[in-house]
Amino acid sequence: MPEDLHVTLSPRLSKLHDLSAMVEEFGDEHGLPVAKVFVINLALDELITNAVTHGSFENASDPKIEVRLRVDHDILILTIEDNGSMFDPTIDTEPDTESSLERREVGGLGLHLVKSFADRVSYEFVGGKNRLTLEHDLKPASG
């Protein structure tokens, strides 16, 4: 049985390349479709970028992001915990995806993409940490 992925990293964008390689290895071991591996790496890029660039860790003495990835009963489950300031990404507003090229706003898309691809998203703030869980079904829903 392939192992779960469990990584603790400091919040820096330069960590994304190594992390993506680990996710790809996890995908190979679990026989995941390329599209699912892509979606997990997209979520990690967007969420870690969001945390780093919005200064969530300014008040943390030992800033850490903890990533867990596992497959349970045909569900791919990504959990991201961080000890930055409280931020619930599930209540973010919808970005502009419809206006013309001239009027289109630059930015605000990342969280929208993460939530659009996930089948279920949940957030909690526990023990001084943000914990976001994204679930992706590996088999299409029947019916």
Partner 1 sequence: MNIEVAEERDNGVLVLLPVGRLDSANARTFESIIMDHIGNGEQHLIVDFSRLAFISSSGMRVLLIAAKRLNASKGKLVLCEMQDHIHEVFHISGFDQIIPILDSRQSATAVF
CA angle 115, 58, 61 (to 5 degrees): 110
Among 5, 32, 39, 132, binds partner 1 (CB under 8 A): 39
The CA-based dihedral angle spanning residues 59, 19, 116, 65, taken in that order and rounded to the nearest 10 degrees: -20
C-alpha of 128 from chain center: 19
Q: Which is nearer to partner 1, 112 or 131 (CB)?
A: 112
- Which residue number, 48 or 71, has a Cβ lying nearer to partner 1? 48
**The binder of partner 1 chosen from 1, 91, 101, 141 (CB under 8 A):** 101
Decide if 10 contacts 74 (C-beta within 8 A). no
User: Which positions lie near partner 1, rule CB under 8 A?
Assistant: 13-14, 16-17, 20, 34-35, 38-39, 41-42, 45-46, 48-49, 53, 96-98, 100-102, 104, 106-107, 109-110, 112-113, 116-117
